[in-house]
Every structure is written in C-alpha cells, then in structure tokens.
A and B are shown apart, each in its own frame.
Chain A
C-alpha cells in the first residue's frame, strides 16, 4: 500500500518548471524525509498532494484517492505554520473541531495542556515554538493517515525543534500514520526518518529506505592515479579528486580493490550532499519502487 503516488507529475509556473516528471511512491507507515535545496520543488509537491495546486502534467494520488479528495484523511502543516493570529488557542482548536469530523478533541486538549500553552492566549501572542506546537496539534487531532509537514522545524530554536519532533514521533508511535516531512536541513531528519526522497531541480533524484541506501553506498579513498580505473568499474555518485588523492562515493559493494584504497560507510548527510552535488546521479529508475 502506498500513501502517496506521483506519476509523471509536473508543475509549471509561467515559464519555469517547479516540479518536473516526478514519479514517486511513498510507502505507507513510514516516516519519509523529503530533502532538497531551497526551490527544489518540495513545497510544490506537497501542495499538489493536497489539491492546493493542480498539476500541469501527470497525476498524484494520496491514500489511493485523487489529490484533494482525501482531505479528511490527510493533514498538512504548511511552511509558515499558518494559524489565525486573532484566534485564541481554544478557538483554534474549535476551528479544527468544526471543520473535521474525525477530530480528536481529547488528544488536542491533552497536548495543549501538557505543553502548558494557555488556552485563552491569542495565537499571535505565542512564541514561535508554541505556535508550531499549536499548528501541530491541529493537524494531529485531525487523526490523519498521512501527515505532510513542510519545513516544520524552520525558525525554531534547538529545544523547540526537539520538542516538536518528540511530539511528532510519539504521535507516530501511537497511530502508525505515514509522515512526509520536508526539510533542507538533513541533520534534522536523522533518527526520525526511515525513508528518503531527494528532490533536486524539480526532479526526484533518490528514493528509498534509508538503511538500505546507507548500506548500499561506500565512500572510497585512494590514490588519484588509480581513480579512473576504479571509477570505470563501479557506479560512482560523487567523485572528488586532488592531485594525489581521490574520494568517491560509490553505489554497491566494491569488489577486490587495491590495498591502497580504503572503504567506509556513509552517513545520511554525506549521502544526501553527494547526490545534491551531482544532480545527474540518481538511484532512479528502480523497478520495485512501490515496495515498502
């Protein structure tokens, strides 16, 4: 079962493509990191998924339904965490309750109480972290099967980031919902996400289980004069060379190498950066994309 499927999805604003030829299958029950530089099309993809935008090409479906028709089962927290500034926190919760039949008021009230946010305070007077928590409460109490979060940690201090992530992860532990979380800061997503989608220049560059991806890549360091031969035999993602030394990120397990080479595993951030540096490299297409 996939939570989100995009097929040849594209969106053009006037002249330029914000998202192009995007094919993607996000497995259900995962916490998915949607990573890419600013302007890579992350927000566009999320807005297309909830029907706020109409695709120029292709299609996107969510929980097996066309985008925009599954709104009672999907929640989205937009980038600037929009809330009605003039509403009190209690009114913001009432808003959620009135507009969502599956609203879990107990959950919302409990969360706000645990966070010690005063119910009668105007939303506009709360701190940035508290506003994010209120916005997160509104989307969580909707009891979505798929939760889309657009840069949820932007503009938050480290403590607030941790608190927001804690709230989010504990909701995942409770409900098993699918989360798609966009960020341009990879370190935010380590330990929380288990599936990675890298979007670059409007295209999907990487998509897969994070552990499999990390296990499937190696960083090789060795003498520059041997590098060409090695590069020719292996699938290199990124290749940086100095006069003497070459560093290559390769996909797959290196076969018998000259002992002057060392191979080691990669971290998530290293992996993402390597791909972003090389927009032409891609783990796609992969035939069994939809498998969880």
Chain B
C-alpha cells in the first residue's frame, strides 16, 4: 500500500518538493543578502533598507497562505474522486486489502507527507522573518498571512486543506465538483479563522495617554479593539463627544477632558501559543474531515 500511495502521488510529491525547495532557496538568498545590506546600519537608514528589501518579497509571501488550497486540489480531491471517476476504485477496492485500510494507509502516508511539507514551509518562513528581528518589519504575529505560513500553523493549514480535499472528493465522487467544494470551503475557512484568531486568548489591556494611544503597543502586536476610557472609568467605542477638528486638536481635546486611550491587543510573545492553538484547531478539523471521508468510503453504498 505504501508503494502504491507513493507511486500514485509521485508527481505531487516531486512538484511540491521542488516548489518548496525553490521558495526555500529564494527566501534564503534574500535573507542572506538582506543581512549583508543591514550590516552596520541603524535607525531610519536601517528601516529604509529593510523596508525596501521586504517589499521585494512581498508579493511572494502574500500568496503563500493560498498554497494549501493547491494541496487540497492536487493531493486531497483526487484521492477518492479520481479513482471513482476512472472506475479504478473497482480495482483498488477489490484486492485483498480491505477498502478501509486502503483509505487509512493512503490518508496516513499523504497526511504525513503534507504535514512535513507544511512544517518545512513554516520553518523556511520563520527563518526568513527572523532576518528582520529588531526592525519594525518582523511581522510574523500581526500579519495574517505570515502567521499562517510560519511556525506550526503552516503545517496545520496544509493538513487541513488536504483532508478537506479528500473529504470533498469522497462526498462528491467526481473530481470537478470536489475541486470547487474544496476551493470554496478553504477560502471560507481562511476568512473565518483569520477573524477568529484574535480571540485565541483574553487580550491584554493597555492604557496610555491619548497622544500615545496608537503607538503604545508592540509593533507586532495583534490589535483587537481600541477605545477611550473616561475619568469615570467608562469605556466608549466611538469618538469622544464634544471634540473634533484635525487629529492633533482632537487628541488635545480628548486629553483635556481626561480621556485616555485603551487598547486591547494580543502581544507578540503569544506567538507560539497562538501557533499551537491554530494548528490544533486545524488538526481537529482535519480529523473530522478524515472521519467523513472514512465513513463515506467504508460505509456508504456506492
């Protein structure tokens, strides 16, 4: 069964490994050259250089969170759907190996491979972001996308997308609908989880004078909510009544009335806790989807 799985996924394994290697090389080269460019610089000059260098990779890194969708499409969806569409399930499921084991081995081997690939990507991106440690561009926590493709969350997304594709294929039993379902559900999941992420822990409350309210938290902190708090201790969400004008006169007015800025944030030192939380949620979803596929393949009449 192991041999069969590898043989049938030869192409996917080769292409994925090659793409990961290419991304790794590009980001490694970028990281090394950036470090060289950063050497001896400080202050605005450093920020200027790093800012330019990060912009260079921006388009690549922005698209990385969509990569798991491809895993869902090319690894997950065909697993059951293509067999049924080609009629080869009649071959695969009538050998001495029971159908349930056929699915279990395939899913286990491929899920393992996909998770390893996700971990590799996570390590690549984590290493790359580390280059900018100490500059305002080390956005591995507050950046929705980079968070999802670094650390262990990357592996979570890859595994989830794979199982999503597998379950969709087992449910629709046709490749094209499976692809559509996989894509749609994946992007809904991205949207939902990116919104949900700030709730993984009780946010930290930071109170600061009105003028510093916007910059009181760490540059990489994940902002959750910002309000004004009056002298009576009550928080208001909108504008402070009776104050207007441009930014500086407004802030002066707010401060004059005794208001302070209150910001709820997730501090960046929660990075790993959040990483494991996200990976855990995705892994749980993957297990659930695996159960759906298993049920569908082993129990349902065709």
Contact = CB atoms under 8 A, between A and B. Distances in A.
B4 to A, nearest CB: 6
Nearest to A86: B8
4 cross-chain pairs, A with B, having the tightest CB-CB distances, nearest first: A99-B95, A72-B96, A78-B90, A54-B301
- Please tell me the size bucket of the interface on A: 20 to 34
B302 A99 contact: no
Contact of A99 (B4, B88, B89): B4
Interface string A116-145: 000000000000000000000010001000
B7 A87 contact: yes
16 contacts: A52-B93, A52-B94, A52-B302, A53-B301, A74-B94, A78-B87, A78-B90, A82-B87, A83-B88, A83-B91, A84-B8, A84-B88, A91-B7, A98-B3, A99-B97, A101-B96
B107 to A, nearest CB: 16
Interface of A: 47, 50-54, 71-72, 74-76, 78, 80, 82-85, 87, 91, 94-96, 98-102, 138, 142
A230 to B, nearest CB: 48
Contact of B86 (A76, A82, A94): A82
Contact of A76 (B87, B90, B98): B90
A100 B96 contact: yes
Contact of A78 (B3, B91, B98): B91
Contacts of A82: 86-91
A80 B8 CA distance: 20
B302 A71 contact: no
Interface residues of B, number: 20
A53 B4 contact: no
**In terms of DSSP, what is the predominant structure of the interface of chain A?**
loop
A87 to B, nearest CB: 7
B224 to A, nearest CB: 51
Nearest to B95: A99
Contacts of A72: 96
Contact of A98 (B1, B86, B91, B98): B1
Contacts of A142: 95-96
Contacts of A71: 94-96, 98
A99 B105 CA distance: 12
Contacts of B86: 82, 85
Nearest to A75: B94
A76 B94 CA distance: 7
Nearest to B301: A54
A286 B179 CA distance: 52
Given A99-B96, A142-B95, A142-B96, A52 B90 contact: yes
Interface string B262-282: 000000000000000000000
A74 B98 CA distance: 12
A126 B44 CA distance: 69
Output the residue of B8, B86, B90, B93 with the most chain A CB within 10 A.
B90
B98 to A, nearest CB: 7
Contact of A102 (B3, B96, B302): B96
A155 B118 CA distance: 47
A71 B92 CA distance: 11
A51 B93 CA distance: 9
Output the residue of A80, A82, A142 with the most chain B CB within 10 A.
A82
Contacts of B301: 53-54
A255 B19 CA distance: 84
A102 B97 CA distance: 11
